[in-house]
Structure 1
Amino acid sequence: MASRLMQFMRLARMALISLWAFRLRSLFVIVATGLGIASLTIIVAAVDGAQRKAIEMTDSFGPDAAFVIGGDIFSRALGRRTMSLTWSDVRALRQSLPGAYLVVPLRAVGNISLRYGNRNTTASLIIGATENYATAWNWPLSEGRDLNEEDILRAAKVTILGAEVARDLFGDESPLGKTIQANGTPLTVIGLLSERGLTTGHGVSVDNRLVAPITTLQQRFGLDRQYFRSLRVKFHDVHNMHANVENLRSYLRKLHNLAPGQPDDFTILTADEILKFLSMLRGSLVAFLGVTATVAILVGGFVLANLFYLSVSERAQEIGIRRAFGARSGAIMTQFLCEAVALTLLGALLGQVLGLSLGQLLERLEILEIQLSFKIFLLSMGSAVAIGLIFGLRPARQAAKLDPIQALRS
């Protein structure tokens, strides 16, 4: 065993010497392999990042909740109403929907200019809601209190700030009791949402928002007082969500006088629906990047094979001399395989650096979510070894089969 190990080490050393002697050719193989491994690195990091994002979004959404949106957001048929949810729907659901314990209607206005003293910022959304907004979204308050029934009845000029908005306007100072201007409307801060650190599909932070009574939004921002865009429903029995959602759908269809066969004029989303949608997107991402990575790896492998075939021809005399001095064909083949694997491993290291750098850039540009893990290193190095062995085997066998006399004459 020790003698075989020494022999292998000697062959590996000779392989490295040969690679340095043909370093320009070696560089081509390293770069070609590196591009393939870079693609593989991006796909693994992106898929893991998409999985992490899906888990974060479904956890924050809540397994016991349904989110109802006015209109069919998937078909968007021409002329189809999107404002189909009313206050009468809310009252009926609160009184009669089996298993539901919380129904919160929601409206929203985008791009709100905020001012406190000499500080200014812009919130992506101001959300109008009824009491228990934070409870409805499983969103703990780090300070203050949630909206209550009195706030809604009085259309109180109060607000709950998202963490990013509070930081922009108040820095490290507590915002409680302070009055801010939202598009010129004074709102007194009664609560501060804890920071979630998530972004929406449009790359906007969920912490860049504020919440106010829905009646206040209707009065101060000129919103329709009968209809609203969406509502949040929470159920007691989280293990029976399919039946809960079917009951919700049937009841809303009855409230909206929809005949059998007539499409819904609303959309119901649950954590499972979101997870299915994100899984479908992740599958598309895997398919697209997977094809790209496979093509790039195959290109790297073919570059390696072709350059090694050329190397065998150019090094025929070297191989002939070694065979004449007693080198076995197995030793020749092992040396060439060592050369191939050494180059692909170097290419893997280069590819990981390129892939992770590009992945970080894509994440900063909010094109992809990536997550780094040791799995990337293992897959990259394993793929590199496989490329070296598979595409280097035939040139190595060709070198091992060279007749020493013919090789010396060439």
Structure 2
Amino acid sequence: MPPPTFTSPMAASPMSRLLHVRRAARFAAQAVRAYRLRSLFVISAIALGIAALTIIVTSIDGAERRTKEIMSMFGPDAAFVLGGDIKSRAVGQRNQTLSWSDVLRLRQSLPGAYLVVPMRGISNITARAGNKNFEVPTIVGATEGYAEVWNWPLAEGRDFTREDVMRGAKVALLGSAVAEELFGNETPLGRTIFLQNLPVRVVGLLTHRGFSGGGNNLDERVIIPLTTLTQRFNLDRKYFRALRIKFRDAQNMPQNAENLRSLLRHLHKLGPGDDDDFTILTADEIIKFVGMLKGGLVIFLGVTAAVAMIVGGFVLANLFYISVNERTAEIGLRKAVGAKSWELTLQFLFEAVILTCLGALLGMILGMALGQTLSSLGILTIEFSFKVFALSLLSAALIGLIFGIRPARSAARMAPVDALRGK
């Protein structure tokens, strides 16, 4: 008796091949439904890895979007100076190191600078207008040029003038969220609000920023002259918390920042071995920080996703080997009625890919739910896209093919008689 021949799927007609493929897919779907417990284990294992992968991709996309938002708000031509060295000194150490004399000297002597705005803030002050109250997270004190120095256009009204600052005028700029809470759709210009017991007249309405940082919405703030803030709330009149500086040459920001650092060190009489008692932030510093955060996130979640998906792949392979041993009678019967070896291989591969893709869908749902939680807590910015869907399904399908091929071939190599005998 001549040995049995293996019929290649390429040797059959296209219609015959299509029928064999459809039949393999149908048997695979039936097996997935029949072996529910095995399917649940594989789907759950793959879902954990895909959930981590989903968080990686969406958080990277979100970080890119957030970086662009920060850059647009911060501006490539600006520097932000904080009192105290926040990079190396412990929290709570002295941070009141910036003074009015620094502002005057910077305005006079800092090369390339055309706008220097000092500022400080107080937290959680109740604003009242008529019978409406709103708890303002931050009241900012600043000088003239606040809107321009922060690239924050006014929707209505005007910015502070030098006269407002010199005489400690009771005037204010409102963030859009505060204006909406206190006045609804009416214009706030010319209206009076009370900050605790301090009456101030609204002279400007800032445009909607739509950006949150540190858990606070920037649109939920009120800005008043710095002199008004220090006088009316009994704050230190010599020092303030921060400086915002705009330069004419955005292409030369590294040199601008170094000039700023050298001048401040000179003004603060710091020696060659002394640490800075201030911190300078520029757009480049922010990009570096976001890049480090993103890199650490990718490494951590990447390892987690890789381990989870590899574990899921081994779970799939082991369960499929067990399944092949349990289904020898089915395999023998399929071969006895004419099923080809390649068809059995294809059936088991279909099963593996179906299970891993179902795991991918579950993993994306878990990843999206976790992503929304992280977004609501302000930990990460999550942005979902078709790329996430495509990458997750592709990764899951590859896991199914890679880890399912050996069990599938093992099933296909069984001799029909031995399979029917359960050997």
TM-score range, shorter chain: over 0.9
1:176 alignment partner, one of 178, 189, 198: 189
Task: Output the amino acid matched with 1:93.
Answer: L
Matched AA of 1:305: A
2:253 to 241, 247, 260: 241
Measured after TM superposition, the shift of residue 79 of structure 1 is 8.2
> Residue 137 of structure 1 is aligned with which of 136, 140, 150?
150
The Cα offsets for residues 139-173 of structure 1, whole Å up to 9 and x where unpaired, read as 00111100111101110000001111111111111
| Gap change, CA 1:127 and 1:78, over 3 Å in 2 | closer
Task: Give the letter aligned to residue 37 of structure 1.
Answer: I
Note closer, same or farther for the CA distance 1:319–1:288 as it changes in structure 2 (3 Å cut): same
Partner of 1:217: 229
Name the structure 2 match of 1:48.
Answer: 61
2:380 matches 1:368: yes
In the aligned structure 1, how far is the partner of 2:121 from the partner of 2:154?
20
Secondary structure of residue in 2 paired with 1:243? helix
Partners in 1 of 2:237 and 2:378 — Cα distance?
Answer: 37
Q: 1:163-202 alignment to 2 at 5 Å?
A: 163-200=176-213, 202=214
Q: In the alignment, which residue of structure 2 is the partner of 1:117?
A: 130
Q: 2:108 aligns with which of 95, 100, 108?
A: 95
Which residue of structure 2 lines up, in the alignment, with residue 289 of structure 1? 301
Q: Structure 1: which amino acid aligns with 2:135?
A: T
Residues 40 and 77 (structure 1), Cα distance of their counterparts in 2 relative to 1, 3 Å cut: closer
The aligned amino acid for 1:303 is V
The equivalent of 1:37 in structure 2 is 50
Residue of structure 2 equivalent to 1:23: 36
Describe the shift of the 1:78–1:327 C-alpha distance in structure 2 as closer, same or farther (beyond 3 A).
Answer: closer
- 1:80 is displaced (CA, Å) by 4.9
Counterpart among 129, 135, 146 of residue 159 in structure 2? 146
Deviation at 1:301, TM superposition (A): 1.7
Matching residue of 1:307? 319
Q: CA deviation at 1:216?
A: 0.4
The answer as to 2:264 corresponding to 1:255 is no
Q: Classify the secondary structure of the residue corresponding to 1:181.
A: strand
Q: Which secondary structure does the structure 1 equivalent of 2:122 belong to?
A: strand
Number of the residue aligned with 2:86: 73
Alignment partner for residue 104 of structure 1, among 117, 125, 145? Answer: 117
1:50 is displaced (CA, Å) by 2.0
Moved more, 271-280 or 281-290: 281-290
Counterpart CA distance in 2 for 1:247 and 1:228 is 21
Q: Distance in 1 between matches of 2:165 and 2:315?
A: 70
How many pairs align? 409
Pick closer, same or farther for the CA change 1:78–1:33 going to 2, 3 Å: closer
The offset of 1:41, in angstroms, is: 1.6
CA distance in 1, matches of 2:196, 2:95: 25
1:87 CA drift (Å): 1.0
> Which deviates more, 150-159 or 49-58?
49-58
Given the alignment, which residue of 321, 325, 341 partners 2:333?
321
* Residue matched to 2:349: 337
Cα RMSD (Å): 1.6
Cα distance in 1 for partners of 2:100, 2:306 equals: 54
Determine which of 84, 104, 109 is the counterpart of 2:97.
84
Among the aligned pairs, what percent are the same residue? 61
- What residue identity is the alignment partner of 2:77? D
Partners of 2:222 and 2:155 in 1: CA distance: 14
**Aligned-partner Cα distance in 1 for 2:374–2:251:** 38
Q: Which runs of 5+ in 2 are unaligned?
A: 1-13
Closer/same/farther in 2, CA of residues 288 and 79 from structure 1, 3 Å limit: closer
Q: Does 1:269 align with 2:269?
A: no
Cα distance in 1 for partners of 2:30, 2:86 equals 64
Aligned-pair CA distance for 1:105? 0.6
Question: Secondary structure at 2:212's aligned position in 1?
Answer: coil
Q: Which amino acid is the alignment partner of residue 140 of structure 1? A: P
Instruction: Give the secondary-structure state (helix, strand or coil) at the position aligned to 1:174.
Output: coil
Q: CA deviation at 1:77?
A: 4.6
Equivalent position SS for 1:402: coil
Distance across 2 between alignment mates of 1:380 and 1:370: 16
Closer, same or farther: CA 19–83 of 1 in aligned 2, 3 Å: same
- Whichever residue aligns with residue 32 of structure 2, its letter is L
Q: Which residue of 2 aligns with 1:406?
A: 418
In 2, Cα distance between equivalents of 1:185 and 1:230: 24
Deviates more, 1:127-136 or 1:273-282: 273-282
Report the alpha carbon displacement of residue 326 of structure 1 after superposing the two structures with TM: 3.8
User: CA offset at residue 59 of structure 1?
Assistant: 1.5
CA distance in 1, matches of 2:362, 2:123: 45
Residue 219 (structure 2) aligned to one of 207, 210, 214: 207
The AA in structure 2 aligned to 1:26 is S
Instruction: Name the residue aligned to 1:350.
Output: 362
